[in-house]
Amino acid sequence: MKQINTILIVDDEPGARNILEALLLREGHHLEFASCGKDALERVQNITPSLVLLDVMMPEMDGFEVCRRLRATPTLAEVPIIMITALDDRESRLEGIRAGADDFLSKPFDREELRARIRTILRLNRYRRLHAERAKFEWVIQHAKDGYLMINQHDNILYANSHARLFLNLSPEQELSTLKFFDLIGQTYQLEPQEAWASWPKPANDSPGSPQRARYLVRQETMTSEAFWLQVDVLDLPSASSDEEKMIHLSDVTASMKAQRNRWGFHTIICHKLRTPLVGMLGSLEFLVQQVENLSTSEIFEFAQMSLTSVRRLHGEIEDILQYLNAPSLVHSEPFFLAELPSLLREIAQNLAIKTLEIAMNDTVKENWIALSERAVELVFWEVLENSVKFHPIHAPKIRIEIEPEKGQRICLRVSDDGMSLSPRQLSLMWQPYYQGEKYLTGEEEGMGLGLTMVATMLWEVGGICRSYNRTPAPGVVIELSVPLITVEEVRGQRLE
Q: What are phi and psi of 6, to 5 degrees?
A: -105, 125
Task: Write the DSSP string, 281-297.
Answer: HHHHHHHHHHHGGG--H
Spans in the chain with pLDDT lower than 70: 1-3, 87-89, 127, 129-140, 205-212, 223-224, 237-243, 269, 271-273, 317, 319-333, 433-450, 488-497
Beta bridge partners of 402: 360, 414
Whether pTM exceeds 0.75 = no
The pLDDT of residue 207 is 53
Rounded CA gap, 267 and 271, in Å?
Answer: 6
The pLDDT of residue 489 is 63
Instruction: Please answer whether residues 401 and 356 qualify as being in contact, where contact means their C-beta atoms are separated by less than 8 angstroms.
Output: no
Rounded CA gap, 395 and 478, in Å?
Answer: 17
Which CATH number is correct for 6-141, 2.70.70.10, 3.90.550.10, 3.40.309.10, 3.40.50.2300?
A: 3.40.50.2300
Rounded CA gap, 347 and 481, in Å?
Answer: 20
Rounded CA gap, 160 and 170, in Å?
Answer: 9
147-252 and 335-496: identical CATH topology? no
CATH, domain range 147-252 = 3.30.450
CATH, domain range 335-496 = 3.30.565.10
The pLDDT of residue 269 is 67
3-class secondary-structure state, position 413: strand
The pLDDT of residue 461 is 87
Rounded CA gap, 277 and 311, in Å?
Answer: 7
pLDDT in tens, 463-474: 899 999 999 999
Domain boundaries, the chain: 6-141, 147-252, 262-326, 335-496
The pLDDT of residue 356 is 95
Considering Cα of 476, then 481, then 482, then 488, what sign does the dihedral take?
negative
The pLDDT of residue 441 is 34
